[in-house]
């Protein structure tokens, strides 16, 4: 495999078939098949015909990192997952002494602002589970965008455009689902059928992207 670490400016389509990608520098990377796996930006690649654009929207998530001082260790020895006030919360202790608290889920388009309200809610709910948490130094706050599909399940496999496949839409579970996504896409690209387990996630389960969603992702 040759890796080209570059930005895809647009999909190259010739006679209703995806034939590669054009990089920011204007170079064409020709390919028999193209896998579009651009996360929350998957619905924004130029050149993809409108009726084939993946129906992916950005779902904002805020996450915190705290540090457990040596004097407090061991603070938590395993991951804690909970539902607090109807929201999902997790506390993940890392080997390097960090404690990750996540994550909010917000439908705010492309906004990646870390807000006082987001930090407050995470700390409030985490405090309810583990009161001692408010004694820890807060070392990082961050917001990212998850790729969400209309049913929040992944989009895996061929699209209605010949040569174009999707591997996106993993929403809250993209890290967890990385190995299985890699496996099924490799199986598909090396000539096999789409494995049974991923058939429910075919991009073809959705019709063309509704105009409203296109506007939201514009």
Q: Record the tokens describing residue 211, joined without a space.
A: 């105009």
Least distance between ligand FAD and beta carbon 78 (Å) = 15
Give the nearest distance from C-beta 70 to ligand FAD in angstroms: 26
Span from 68-76, 114-122, 126-134, 164-172 in contact with ligand FAD (CB under 6 A): 164-172
Minimum distance of ligand FAD from residue 67's CB (angstroms): 18
Nearest to 169, CA basis, from 12, 28, 54: 54
172 binds ligand FAD (CB under 6 A): yes
Give the whole-angstrom CA distance, residue 141 versus residue 65.
6
Our finding on whether 170 is near ligand FAD (CB under 6 A) is yes
Near ligand FAD by CB under 6 A, which window of 35-43, 64-72, 107-115, 131-139? 35-43
Taking the C-alpha atoms of residue 120 and residue 138, their distance in angstroms, rounded to an integer, is: 12
Stretches 33-41, 69-77, 156-164, 185-193: which one binds ligand FAD (CB under 6 A)? Answer: 33-41
Q: How many beta carbons lie within 10 A of that of residue 64, not counting itself?
A: 24
* Contacts of residue 62, Cβ cutoff 8 Å, sequence gap at least 6: 102, 103, 104, 106, 114, 115, 118, 119, 122, 141, 142, 143
Q: Among 91, 103, 133, 184, which residue interacts with ligand FAD (rule: CB under 6 A)?
A: 103
- Of residues 175, 211, 215, 218, which one binds ligand FAD by CB under 6 A? 175
- Which residue sits closest to ligand FAD, CB atoms considered? 174
Residue 58 contacts residue 147 (beta carbons within 8 Å): yes
| Sheet arrangement for strand 87-93 | 80-84, 87-93, 98-102, 57-67, 138-148
Is residue 147 near ligand FAD by the rule CB under 6 A? yes
Residues that bind ligand FAD (CB under 6 A): 7-8, 37-41, 45, 61, 63, 102-103, 144, 146-147, 168, 170-176
């Amino acid at each position: 495999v040759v890796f080209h670490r570059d930005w895809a400016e647009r999909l190259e389509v010739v006679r209703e078939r995806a034939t590669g990608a054009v990089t920011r520098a204007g170079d064409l990377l020709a390919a028999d098949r193209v896998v579009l796996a651009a996360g929350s930006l998957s619905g924004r690649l130029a050149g993809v015909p409108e009726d084939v654009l993946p129906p992916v929207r950005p779902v904002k998530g805020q996450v915190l990192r705290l540090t457990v001082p040596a004097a407090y260790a061991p603070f938590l020895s395993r991951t804690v997952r909970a539902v607090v006030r109807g929201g999902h919360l997790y506390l993940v202790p890392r080997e390097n002494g960090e404690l990750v608290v996540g994550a909010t889920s917000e439908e705010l388009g492309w906004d990646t602002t870390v807000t006082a309200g987001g930090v407050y809610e995470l700390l409030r709910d985490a405090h309810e589970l583990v009161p001692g948490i408010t004694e820890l130094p807060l070392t990082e706050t961050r917001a990212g965008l998850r790729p969400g599909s209309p049913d929040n399940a992944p989009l895996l496999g061929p699209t209605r455009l010949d040569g174009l496949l999707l591997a996106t839409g993993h929403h809250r579970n993209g890290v967890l689902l990385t190995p299985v996504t890699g496996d099924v896409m490799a199986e598909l690209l090396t000539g096999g059928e789409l494995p049974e387990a991923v058939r429910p996630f075919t991009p073809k389960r959705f019709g063309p992207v509704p105009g409203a969603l296109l506007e939201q992702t514009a």
